[in-house]
């Protein structure tokens, strides 16, 4: 069994910084969990605690149902891939791949033919065949990262931990490696915990995302659930590019009001009352002819970014900054300062209490 569980895990450093505050989270066998959050939110600390590189202040960490708080890092049977690839510079790719098997904790259990077979499998899978004799400095960043991933995988760990493994790569390579990591996961089904601040990585890789802010878990859900039904305004504004529009105000009598702005709530939110944040994704904002419909509200165009097939329009809606992502067409062909109308009433909108 290779489940992972954080049970009310708190980490307070000596200087008093609380990096994690009662984190409770379960990663199922074979699941790909992404810990997502801004810099300093505590995600690397969670991974380091799981790896045994830091000690928990309170709470328990379980791997395969067993408490591992007191188990040293080397005895936890984990594979780790970090942002810095940490390859041995004086060794060839082939030797780097085999090092952990030949000289690590597993060396007695695995004989040389098996080691060779595992390395050959990784080389094949990661397309490293032509590079086996090279030293790390003779490899590109993406190639080095593939070796680092291969080195972790050949050990067939119970759980694979990755901390921002793609952040040193350029955008194009990052996209490719992202697909590759997901493909490898589907092939091996190794329980994986992956740390990133990049929400696109989280959306595309994860079975479930754990969004963390200020050391606290904000939401633990499949990526599309977090996208469509964010638990709070932090998650709503952290996931999605451009982020979800949030208007702080009050719902009452089937309408949402904030200062001068007032519009009908969509049907599924009609019964809601009280203060909160009305959240609408940029792609759900619709441009209207002024006065065309009861739900249209006036907007002034602040600026627009043409991305080819879509146009991102930055609007001022009665004092509220609103972003609309609209298929490029005549209605998006407007200059800054133009007065238009939009509708914020949409079946995909959310009303968040905090």
Name the segment binding ligand ATP (CB under 6 A); options: 15-23, 127-135, 177-185, 250-258. 15-23
Asked if 280 contacts 344 with a C-beta cutoff of 8 angstroms, the reply is yes
Q: How far is CA 12 from CA 4, 20, 71, 73, 154, in A?
A: 21, 7, 19, 19, 34
Q: Is 13 in the site for ligand ATP (CB under 6 A)?
A: yes
Residue of 17, 24, 140, 262 interacting with ligand ATP (CB under 6 A): 17
Q: Is 41 in the site for ligand ATP (CB under 6 A)?
A: yes
Tokens of 178: 């992202």
Residue 227, classed as helix, strand or coil, is helix
Q: Tell me how far apart the alpha carbons of residues 62 and 325 are, in angstroms, rounded to a whole number.
A: 43
Q: Tell me how far apart the alpha carbons of residues 247 and 256 are, in angstroms, rounded to a whole number.
A: 9
Q: Tell me how far apart the alpha carbons of residues 91 and 66 are, in angstroms, rounded to a whole number.
A: 36
Q: Is 262 in the site for ligand ATP (CB under 6 A)?
A: no
Q: Is 142 in the site for ligand ATP (CB under 6 A)?
A: no
Residue of 3, 45, 192, 245 interacting with ligand ATP (CB under 6 A): 45
Q: Tell me how far apart the alpha carbons of residues 171 and 330 are, in angstroms, rounded to a whole number.
A: 32
The CB-of-259 to ligand ATP minimum distance in angstroms stands at 35
Q: Is 98 in the site for ligand ATP (CB under 6 A)?
A: no
Among candidates 123, 133, 101, 104, which has minimal Cα distance to 114? 101
Residue 44, classed as helix, strand or coil, is helix
Q: Tell me how far apart the alpha carbons of residues 52 and 74 are, in angstroms, rounded to a whole number.
A: 8
Residue of 10, 30, 40, 64 interacting with ligand ATP (CB under 6 A): 40
Q: Tell me how far apart the alpha carbons of residues 278 and 352 are, in angstroms, rounded to a whole number.
A: 6
Residue of 44, 219, 296, 311 interacting with ligand ATP (CB under 6 A): 44
Q: Tell me how far apart the alpha carbons of residues 301 and 284 are, in angstroms, rounded to a whole number.
A: 17
Return the number of other C-beta atoms located less than 10 Å from residue 14's C-beta.
5
Smaller CB distance to ligand ATP: residue 164 or 180?
164
Name the segment binding ligand ATP (CB under 6 A); options: 13-21, 102-110, 268-276, 298-306. 13-21
Asked if 332 contacts 313 with a C-beta cutoff of 8 angstroms, the reply is yes
Residue of 4, 9, 19, 119 interacting with ligand ATP (CB under 6 A): 19
The CB-of-198 to ligand ATP minimum distance in angstroms stands at 10
Name the segment binding ligand ATP (CB under 6 A); options: 10-18, 104-112, 145-153, 284-292. 10-18
Residue of 2, 4, 32, 37 interacting with ligand ATP (CB under 6 A): 37
Q: Tell me how far apart the alpha carbons of residues 15 and 6 are, in angstroms, rounded to a whole number.
A: 23
What residues from 187 to 216 belong to the interface with ligand ATP (CB under 6 A)? 197
Smaller CB distance to ligand ATP: residue 45 or 199?
45
Name the segment binding ligand ATP (CB under 6 A); options: 38-46, 60-68, 152-160, 304-312. 38-46
Give the binding site for ligand ATP (CB under 6 A): 13, 15, 17, 19, 37, 39-45, 197
């Amino acid at each position: 069994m290779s489940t992972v569980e954080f049970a009310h895990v708190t980490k307070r450093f000596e200087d008093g910084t609380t990096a994690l505050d009662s984190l409770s989270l379960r990663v199922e066998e074979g699941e790909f969990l992404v810990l997502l959050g801004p810099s300093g939110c505590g995600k690397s600390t969670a991974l380091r605690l799981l790896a045994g590189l830091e000690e928990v202040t309170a709470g328990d960490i379980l791997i395969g149902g067993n408490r591992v708080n007191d188990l040293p890092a080397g005895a936890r049977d984990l594979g780790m891939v970090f942002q810095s690839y940490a390859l041995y510079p004086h060794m060839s790719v082939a030797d780097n791949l085999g090092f952990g098997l030949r000289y690590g904790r597993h060396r007695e259990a695995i004989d040389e033919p098996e080691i060779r077979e595992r390395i050959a499998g990784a080389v094949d899978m990661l397309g490293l065949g032509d590079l086996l004799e090279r030293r790390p400095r003779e490899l590109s960043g993406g190639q080095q990262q593939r070796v680092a991933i291969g080195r972790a995988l050949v050990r067939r760990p119970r759980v694979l931990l990755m901390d921002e493994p793609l952040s040193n790569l350029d955008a194009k390579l990052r996209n490719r490696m992202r697909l590759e990591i997901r493909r490898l996961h589907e092939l091996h089904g190794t329980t994986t915990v992956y740390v990133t601040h990049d929400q696109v990585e989280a959306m595309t890789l994860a079975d479930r995302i754990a969004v963390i802010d200020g050391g606290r878990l904000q939401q633990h859900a499949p990526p599309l659930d977090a996208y469509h039904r964010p638990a709070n305004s932090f998650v709503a504004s952290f996931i999605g590019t451009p982020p979800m529009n949030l208007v702080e105000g009050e719902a009452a009598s089937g309408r949402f009001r904030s200062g001068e702005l007032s519009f009908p709530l969509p049907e599924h939110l009609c019964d809601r009352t009280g203060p909160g944040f009305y959240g609408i994704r940029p792609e759900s904002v619709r441009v209207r002819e002024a006065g065309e419909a009861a739900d249209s509200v006036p907007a002034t165009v602040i600026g627009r970014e043409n991305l080819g097939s879509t146009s991102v329009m930055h609007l001022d809606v009665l004092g509220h900054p609103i972003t609309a992502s609209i298929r490029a067409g005549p209605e998006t062909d407007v200059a800054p300062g133009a007065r238009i109308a939009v509708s914020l009433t949409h079946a995909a909108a959310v009303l968040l209490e905090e």
